[in-house]
Amino acid sequence: MFNAIMIDKTRTGSRAGLRSVDPADLPEGEITVRVSYSSLNYKDALAITGRGPVVRQFPMIPGIDLAGEIISSDDPVYRPGDQVIANGWGLGEIHWGGLSQMARVHGKWLLPRPRAFSARQCMAIGTAGYTAMLCIMALEKGGIAPGDGDIVVTGAGGGVGSIAIALLARLGYRVVAVTGRDSLTEYLRRLGAAEVVGRSVLTHTGRPLQPARWSGAIDVAGGKILAALCATMRPGGVIAACGLAAGMDLPLTVAPFILRGITLHGIDSVMCPREQRMAAWARLERDLDPALVDSMSEEISLRQAITTAPQLLEGNIRGRLVVSTHNA
């Protein structure tokens, strides 16, 4: 038997709790992994609290990330003892995920654990850091280089924002961090932000174009914040959009696209092709300081993940939450 967070459907919604699970109940897959670490992401918090329609079938073990050691494998690419990671692919949504001491998955979902990082560090990076790197690769693909102008990062105190700031600063970009928490100013400057500003700089006025400020943007918010970003981009600017914390609606016009030639690049970290994942993790190994990863993360238990999920949704968590499965 192993311990896992299990979400069950109820008459009024859903309920999450720590349960003992029989390995025989694990879903289909060629590979069984002894999970050492997972992480608590925004999507996981929505699933655990039932505040968002993340879980597609019940019962469900949440957790879109996992790192661990292969116990058994019917996939010729992997052998018992291999150290692996997984991000996305429907884990925690349609397939039992990583907030568990054991997982069974398909081999095509796994990547070898990057040698530069421990299993814990891989989960401190997790989907958030991997998504941040996909965003930076999108900016680079759009031709945005250091020296072209300010790069603005919304949701700067969260996982994606924190790692994006650290990466951009190390690559030589001037980063402006947007946050609703004044208490995070020192933390964001330590990560590499040249300037820390409040959300008021991205007020949606309804005007199709506003004074041009940003050459590039990484946005986790969506909604009116993303609309304000589009209206304030410099000509030829690129926005990498990877979240919807502020809403799914996008109240804007085509003006920024046809009058300033901006690009809105959507980031899909869930079903991203394997080759692109490998490239993103290779870049993370090269460009992200492991010591900095440790400084922006906090370790919690499986049981604590349940009680911490509401705090994450309320914006009270800084950086990354690593979930250790060693002590449930």
The predicted-structure confidence for 114-168, as pLDDT tens digits, reads as follows 999 999 999 999 999 999 999 999 999 999 999 999 999 999 999 999 999 999 9
In a domain, 204, yes or no: yes
Structural domain includes residue 48: yes
Average pLDDT over residues 241-253: 91
At residue 129, the pLDDT reads 95
Query: 239: domain range?
Result: 127-266
Residues 25 and 89 in one domain: yes
Q: Using the predicted structure, report yes or no on whether residue 317 has a pLDDT greater than 80.
A: yes
* 142 and 108 both lie in a single domain: no
pLDDT at 327 over 80: no
Give pLDDT, residue 316: 87
Query: Are residue 235 and residue 304 in the same domain, yes or no?
Result: no
Q: Are residues 136 and 53 in the same domain?
A: no
* Residue 284 maps to a domain: no
Taking all residues of the chain, what is their mean pLDDT, rounded to a whole number?
95
pLDDT value of residue 277 = 96
Choose the weakest-confidence range: 78-87, 231-240, 306-315: 306-315
Task: For residues 96 and 19, state if they share a domain.
Answer: yes
> Are residues 77 and 174 located together in one domain of the fold?
no
Q: What tens digit of pLDDT does each residue of 182-220 get?
A: 899 999 999 999 999 999 999 888 899 999 999 999 999
The set of residues, in sequence order, having a beta carbon less than 8 Å from that of 275 and lying 6+ positions away, is none
Q: Three-state SS for 75?
A: coil
| Predicted pLDDT at 203 | 85
Q: What is the DSSP letter of 113?
A: P
pLDDT of residue 284 exceeding 80, the answer is yes
The answer on 217 and 108 residing in a single domain is no
Instruction: Return phi, psi of residue 161, to 5°.
Output: -60, -45
Whether pLDDT at 179 is above 90 = yes
Do 220 and 260 share a domain, yes or no?
A: yes
Overall domain count for the chain: 2
**CATH code of 30's domain:** 3.90.180.10
For range 1-16, the mean pLDDT: 95
CATH number at residue 178: 3.40.50.720
**pLDDT at position 63:** 98
Q: Are 309 and 45 in contact (CB under 8 A)?
A: yes
- Share of residues in the chain with pLDDT > 90 (%): 90
CA distance 157 to 189: 11
Q: Which residue, of 247, 266, 285, is where some domain finishes?
A: 266
Q: Is residue 202 part of a domain?
A: yes
Q: Long-range contacts: 169-172, Cβ < 8 Å, 24+?
A: 169/193, 169/194, 170/287, 170/288, 170/289, 171/136, 171/146, 171/287, 172/146, 172/147
Write down the pLDDT at residue 51: 92
d(CA 90, CA 152): 30
Residues 102 and 132 in one domain: no
Residues 136, 99 share a domain: no
Using the 3D structure, point to which of 244, 266, 288 is the last residue of a domain: 266
143-156 tens-digit pLDDT: 999 999 999 999 99
**106 and 205 share a domain?**
no
In a domain, 241, yes or no: yes
Residue 304 has pLDDT above 90, yes or no: yes
Q: 278 lies in a domain? A: no
What is the predicted pLDDT for the residue at 217? 98
- Are 166 and 85 found together in one domain? no
- State both tokens at 248: 């799914």
pLDDT band of residue 105 (cuts 50, 70, 90) is: very high
Task: Report yes or no on 286 lying in a domain.
Answer: no
